[in-house]
Amino acid sequence: MGASFAQGTKATAAAPSTSPAAKSSEGKVVLVLGDSLSAEYGLSRGTGWVALLDKKLAEEKIAARVVNASISGDTTSGGRSRLAALVAQHQPAVVVIELGGNDALRGLPLELTADNLTAMTQAAQKAGAKVLLVGMQVPPNYGADYGRRFSGVFVDVAKANKAAVVPFMLKGVADGPDATRMFQADRIHPTQEAHPIILANVWPELRKLLK
């Protein structure tokens, strides 16, 4: 279908946020560096997968809190430029990198995306954090070869740097039996209903890194 990934084109963001309860609790920091998929684009605050993750950690009684540093429209280059300051400020135990879709949307070279993902992964690891790369796929109209190479970037970078990876963040959303219903009117951004599925895709790999 046409909407196989969800990326914003408007660079909007709030300050990196945590829930009020999380700010006062102790535990590991999970830093999420993403684009519109993680920045609750078009959603009510507190209903996106990152906010649901914060609730999941509390339910599972895992001593960790989430810092959401996602910006709608961000690219891997943007994330790379912001990462060092965020790591210095929050000293995360885990860095979740959900970037790359906007690179494809803007026609940026795959080599640039791979280089930026590698640099971010290595910088986070050097700072003592574990890394989870959250992968994306592009719509069929990009061509089968490009689609295969693009989705392979996330897996290849993760493998080369011994990082964790979720190959396709929108599994069960963009490729589900009723995919159209899972997207907002723009056919690009997932609905609130889709975000628990997104969290379910991310959670198994993330949980391993919090042990």
User: Active-site residue among 4, 17, 35, 36?
Assistant: 36
> Within 13 A of 87's CA, how many CA atoms are on the CB side?
23
CA dist 11 and 21 (Å) reads 28
User: Active-site residue among 25, 81, 175, 186?
Assistant: 186
Residue at 31: amino acid letter: L
User: Active-site residue among 38, 90, 151, 189?
Assistant: 189
Among positive and negative, which fits the CA dihedral 175, 180, 181, 184? positive
CA dihedral 181, 31, 39, 154 (to 10 degrees): -60
Helix 110-126 vs helix 76-90: crossing angle, to nearest 10: 10
CA dist 29 and 95 (Å) reads 8
Which helix (H) or strand (E) is 54 found in, with range? helix 49-59
78: phi then psi, degrees, rounded to nearest 5: -65, -45
Residue 189 among the catalytic residues: yes
Residue 90 among the catalytic residues: no
The residues that are catalytic are 36, 186, 189
